Amino acid sequence: MPIALEEIASQLAAPGKGLLASDESTGTIGKRLEKAGFENSEETRRSYRELFYTAPIGDAGISGAILFKETLRQSAGDGTPFTQCLLRQGVLPGIKVDEGLVPLEGRPGETSTRGLEGLEAACRQYAADGARFAKWRAALKVGAGRPSERAIELNAQQLAEYAAVCQACGMVPIVEPELLIDGDHDTAAFAHASARAISRCGVVLEATLLKPQMILPGRLRAIHPAMHALAGADYSGPRPSPDDVAHETLRVMRRCVPPALPGIMFLSGGQTEEEATVNLNRINQLAQQQGRAPWALSFSFGRSLQASVLKLWSEDPSGNRQRCRDMAAALAQANSQAVLGRFEGPHPSVTSQQGSLRESFRGWRTDV
């Protein structure tokens, strides 16, 4: 394994650093843009993503940005390729390489991920276009007998095959076994399913990063009155405390993730922008107190780094562009502090009190 890949993985998971997940498919980002009052056009998508890539996110704690294939070859308004906008501030470009979810035959409600066919040629081209790392998402739904052994085995096999191809093509793979929060499950069930999914990713770990959920209870049932489910914006009950999230998350990661892995880059999983930061901060504080975390505990956040920016942009698309860039950097800085266990607030978000960022259309998306 070339040492360069290990160095890239370590750079992405460096202390106080994390990832901007801006790899939403055309359909997914389009729904967000339309909800905010914008047309889902190529130019709108380009202009929106330019807000982030031309913001000073490198100095604010972003080590890498995951791009969608359309975005990888786009440029800023002045003609500078987005990859160069990122690289010149020390942010490594990455690429989403999976092609979305497809139904798993014979298993209603379960999916596998498409994209292995032709993956090697695609990865070589992505690397030539400037991508230094890649991401593949598998989605597992918990509850009512799910995920099945078949779903776990197939998705884990796909993740492993993707990672091997990715490394052979000179890119660091991020493996994302996401457990959807829609199911009727408690923390124990979530933890068990997480452990099974994570343990199946057997690739060269020193040049691999993991992107799992924080361990959160499902949205329909509580373990006890103080541990109610995470839910969408219409849920008014109490949410799990940062201490609960930190203890459960670290317990599962210690049981499942080998120490050779450089970093665990948590996704934000439908939390508010502030919740994701506060929970990440507590995870790192507890890990430092206990002294038993051999990997970086960082972030690969999408909506938790974008929602406030989109809100500001929707209020004044022309006049608020600098405010949007400042917000992108401020959100990155807050999470950079959380990676160090030093976030004290206040949080810069302008959406944190408006409910979770969970999107009902996202979980079973099959668009690319």
Axis-axis angle for helices 321-339, 42-53 (nearest 10): 50
| 101-117 residue pLDDT tens | 999 988 888 999 999 99
- Is residue 279 scored above 90 in pLDDT? yes
What's residue 79's pLDDT? Answer: 98
Q: 5-222+232-340, what's its fold?
A: TIM Barrel (3.20.20)
In this prediction, residues 54-64 reach a mean pLDDT of 98
Share of the chain above pLDDT 70, in %: 83
Q: Is 69 a catalytic residue?
A: no
Which range, 44-53, 131-140, 228-237, is most confident?
44-53
Phi, psi of 89 (to 5 degrees): -110, 20
pLDDT at 319: 96
The residue-averaged pLDDT of 294-315 equals 97
| pLDDT at 218 exceeding the cut of 70 | no
Of the chain, the percentage scoring pLDDT greater than 90 comes to 65
Q: What is the pLDDT of residue 144?
A: 74
What totals of helices (H) and strands (E) does the chain contain, helices first?
A: 12, 10
pLDDT of residue 170: 96
Q: Which long-range contacts (CB under 8 A, 24 or more apart) does 253-257 make?
A: 253/212, 253/293, 253/295, 253/297, 254/292, 254/293, 255/195, 256/194, 256/195, 256/198, 256/199, 257/198, 257/210, 257/295
Q: Active site residue: 17, 69, 135, 211, which one?
A: 211
* pLDDT higher than threshold 90 for residue 316: yes
Q: Which residue has the higher pLDDT, 142 or 297?
A: 297
Active site residue 211: yes
Of the candidates 50, 176, 273, 275, the residue annotated as catalytic is 176
Is 190 a residue whose pLDDT tops 60? no
What pLDDT does residue 213 have? 87
- More confident site: 145 or 77: 77
